[in-house]
Amino acid sequence: GENVEQHPSTLSVQEGDSAVIKCTYSDSASNYFPWYKQELGKGPQLIIDIRSNVGEKKDQRIAVTLNKTAKHFSLHITETQPEDSAVYFCAALNKGQTGANNLFFGTGTRLTVIP
């Protein structure tokens, strides 16, 4: 099955700086890569996703890049704010012909933005 590795496990940045979280995946058939933000006491919130036919996607201060050859993808947050502090998870999925929806998650990155 798919194996997703995520680094770093913890990340502290000064407010206004950028944060980068990296993930690698093992199954070359994976074709959908979402990122989730989870705050304390809440469920994961989808913040951005990318499909394998796209190399980069941006949404305001958040961007995701995908390198299919190297099988890795990254989350970039610019101009970080204290409210960006949370645990971030990457995930991978092979939709395939069955339309299956079982996401394989990384182990999470605890991001702390220091005011």
Binding site for other proteins (CB under 8 A): 32, 34, 36, 41-46, 49, 51, 89, 91, 93, 95, 98-108
Q: Which residue, 51 or 61, has its beta carbon nearer to other proteins?
A: 51
Read off φ and ψ for residue 84, nearest 5 degrees: -80, -10
- Give me the least distance between CB of 82 and other proteins, in Å please: 22
Strands 4-7 and 10-14: unpaired
CA 89/CA 43 separation, integer angstroms: 12
- Give me the least distance between CB of 19 and other proteins, in Å please: 20
Give just the sign of the alpha carbon dihedral 30, 45, 90, 67.
positive
Q: Which residue, 7 or 51, has its beta carbon nearer to other proteins?
A: 51
- Give me the least distance between CB of 46 and other proteins, in Å please: 6
